[in-house]
Amino acid sequence: MTNSIKISALLFLFFSFLSCNKEADFEPGVFDNSEETLIENDLILVRLQENQEQVKLIIEDLLNTSDDRDAEPPLFDYFSLKVDANNNNLIDSNIDKLYGIGNNGANCMSFIITQFSITGCTEEEGYSYEASFESSSKSSEEHIIYELVINKENLSNNSGTVGLVFILNGQDSGGAIPSNPTRPFRETIELKL
């Protein structure tokens, strides 16, 4: 993927989320300490915790060692999560979702229309997002850690399994994992609900 396409895609996501400014009234449930590692490499660590109704994703952006959560756009730290709701490895307009942050860190959920277009932000119950800057068991150096809690019923289109793509943006990091610029859902991290 060329740098201009990467920059265009990141700017698209950034400006798409600018209209988001609603906070959903949502309380994450209780999670035990058991967790599954979905991705672990030198760039990112993604861990999963579940309870009966929700999933919690803990996303460590290991290369992002500068705290730019409150920086001016487009230089601030953010993440988004693309969800292939029926796990068919295709974009299904108004079915597949994009979770992220909007203005002032507000939660933002959009439906994916095409590879390069999404709906505006909608308020979706059952979704919370937090970001911190701290060290962890994976890295003693402080880095950005995102924590996303979503109700299971919001993720799936009754398929039982969804495909996930994590998108990170920061001064020291950025990109989609797994990365496939021509078919965004061709490669996903599968999550059985």
The residues spanned by each domain of the chain are 3-192
The pLDDT-based confidence of 14 (bands split at 50, 70, 90) is: very low
Among candidate residues 119, 8, 3, 2, the one with its CA nearest the CA of residue 74: 8
> Which of 43-47, 122-126, 152-156 shows the lowest mean pLDDT across its residues?
122-126
Report the greatest alpha carbon distance in the chain: 43
pLDDT of amino acid 81: 92
Q: Which helix (H) or strand (E) holds 100?
A: strand 97-101
pLDDT of amino acid 127: 85
Is the pLDDT assigned to residue 128 strictly greater than 70?
yes
Residue 184 to residue 115: CA distance in whole angstroms: 7
The pLDDT-based confidence of 9 (bands split at 50, 70, 90) is: very low
pLDDT of amino acid 158: 76
Residue type, 156: S
Backbone angles phi, psi at 52, to 5 degrees: -60, -35
State the CB neighbour count (10 A cutoff) for residue 134. 12
The pLDDT-based confidence of 116 (bands split at 50, 70, 90) is: confident
Domain 3-192, second-level architecture? Sandwich (2.60)
The pLDDT-based confidence of 73 (bands split at 50, 70, 90) is: low
Per-residue pLDDT averaged across 129-156, rounded? 90
The pLDDT-based confidence of 68 (bands split at 50, 70, 90) is: confident
Instruction: Please report, for residues 13, 18, 29, 93, the alpha-carbon distance to residue 6 in angstroms, rounded to integers and kept in the order given.
Output: 11, 19, 36, 22
Is the pLDDT assigned to residue 84 strictly greater than 90?
yes
Instruction: Please report, for residues 21, 61, 71, the alpha-carbon distance to residue 186 in angstroms, rounded to integers and kept in the order given.
Output: 31, 23, 33
Is the pLDDT assigned to residue 42 strictly greater than 60?
yes
Cα–chain center distance at 68: 17
pLDDT of amino acid 74: 63
Residue 54 to residue 176: CA distance in whole angstroms: 24
pLDDT of amino acid 104: 56
